[in-house]
Amino acid sequence: MKTNEFLSLLEETLEMTEGSLSISTNLKNLEEYDSLAVLSIIAMIDENFGKSLSAQDFTNVTDVASLIEKIGKEHFE
């Protein structure tokens, strides 16, 4: 998946306007990022990458780049 596509997917998942996220956005600082948002991201990653991220993974997530790293860079172009 292209990074831009992933950013769009993530914006859709978090119900944010297009273009509001960048690779360096710290997810934890977002108003939209709460316990329900984490469930939505888990579903999005399962659906698109067939991967499950643990609760621990989410504890360590900071910016979008760190989320991409958790999913695995091999999934990205």
Partner 1 sequence: MESSIKDIEYYLPENILSNDKLSREFPEWSAEKIEQKLGIRERRIAGENETALDLGQKACEKLIRKYPKEQIDFLLFCTESPDYFIPPNAPLLQDRLCLRTDIGAFDFNLACSGYVYGLSIAKGLIAADISKSVLLVTAETYSKHIHPKDKSNKTMFGDAAAATLICDTEKSGIGNFALGTDGTGYDKLIVHNGGFRNPYDPNAELIEYIEGSYRTNNNLYMNGPEIFNFTIKAVPIVVEQCLERNNVTIDEIDYVIFHQANKYMIEYLRKKTKIPQEKFHIDMLMTGNTVSCTIPIALRNSIDNKVIKSGDRVLIVGFGVGYSWGATIITIN
50 CB-side CA count, 13 A: 1
Interface with partner 1 includes 58 (CB under 8 A)? yes
Output the smallest distance, CB 76 to partner 1, in A.
22
Nearer Cβ to partner 1 (38/65)? 38
Q: Which of 4, 24, 43, 72 binds partner 1 (CB under 8 A)?
A: 43
H-only helix segments in 1-77 = 3-13, 35-49, 55-60, 64-71
| 35 contributes a contact to partner 1 by CB under 8 A | yes
Among 23, 38, 65, 71, binds partner 1 (CB under 8 A): 38
CA-nearest of 29, 32, 37 to 62 is 29
Distance, first Cα to last Cα, the chain: 6
| Site for partner 1, rule CB under 8 A | 34-36, 38-40, 42-43, 46-47, 52-55, 58
